[in-house]
Amino acid sequence: MSIKHALKMTALRLGIEVNRYNAVESTEARLLALLNTHRIDTVIDVGANDGGYGRLLRRGGYDGTILSFEPLQEAHDALLAATDGDAGWMVAPRMALGNANTELDIHVAGNSASSSILPMHTTHEQAAPESRYVGVQRVPVRRLDEVRHAALDNGKRLFLKVDTQGYEMMVLEGTDQLLDRIAGIQLELSVTPLYEGQMLYLSMIRWLQARGFELWNVIPGFVDPTSARMLQFDGVFFRSAQH
């Protein structure tokens, strides 16, 4: 047994899986390679929470523009702190994105990241009890294609990342006047209902295909710890050569 193999087996016994940081073995490296392949200069980070996705991009070497949106007050404050000193990473005023300009209540989850405008399904609560709703906040909702921001005006190759816990289709429906400038999209896709009224993965994929987007990458996501069933994953899409 080689030293390399021995170290890998030791890590597995400790519950740690070690992979090379490249586009074949690392989901993070693959995402960054895809952004580079498609010459993405502006990432629109919707449902940014405290800035975890932006930090991932910066850690991986992405030096383009990031524009983050977050509706929850505490998370928005943390997001502002995370972007302090990074001139290329901007934060929009506190708002949710959807298919109409309005105000709605957002349910605040115990783990913050599972917060959603939609009611939570029992499947989600049973798989992650810590995500149960603990409060409500009233938030402004805007269509993305009606938001005025320099990052949106100046970006040439836009990449839309949507993490809105079942509200993804409503966000996409608010991009009509911007969609032709969006070169790629990453969004959560649910295999089974996790929020009441959400659209599931096959319908979401068909919607994107009808608008010229092809699936380029799948990122494993929310797994039921009891059954080991994957309940949700991220799909990364880019425009086909014909569009």
Is the per-residue pLDDT at 44 higher than 50?
Answer: yes
How does DSSP assign 161-206, residue by residue?
A: EE--TT-HHHHHHTTTTTGGGEEEEEEEEESS-SBTT---HHHHHH
Instruction: Tell me the mean pLDDT in the region 37-48.
Output: 97
Q: Does position 56 have pLDDT exceeding 80, yes or no?
A: yes
Tell me the C-alpha distance between 17 and 80, whole Å.
Answer: 33
> How many helices (H) does the chain have, and how many strands (E)?
8, 10
CATH architecture type of domain 21-239: 3-Layer(aba) Sandwich (3.40)
Mean pLDDT of 89-114: 96
Which neighbouring-strand residues pair with 214?
238
Q: Are 54 and 44 in contact (CB under 8 A)?
A: no
CA distance 68 to 41: 14
Q: How far is 40 from 236, CA to CA, in rounded Å?
A: 13
Give the pLDDT of residue 22: 73
What pLDDT is recorded for position 242? 59
pLDDT exceeds cutoff 60 at 143 = yes
| pTM for the structure as a whole | 0.91
Tokens of 68: 């983050």
**Residues 233, 96: Cα–Cα separation, whole Å:** 22
Percent of the chain with pLDDT over 70: 91
Residue, of 23 and 118, whose pLDDT is higher: 118
Q: Which amino acid is at 196?
A: E
Express each pLDDT in 212-242 by its tens digit. 999 999 999 999 999 999 999 999 999 987 5
Q: Tell me, what's the pLDDT at 26?
A: 86
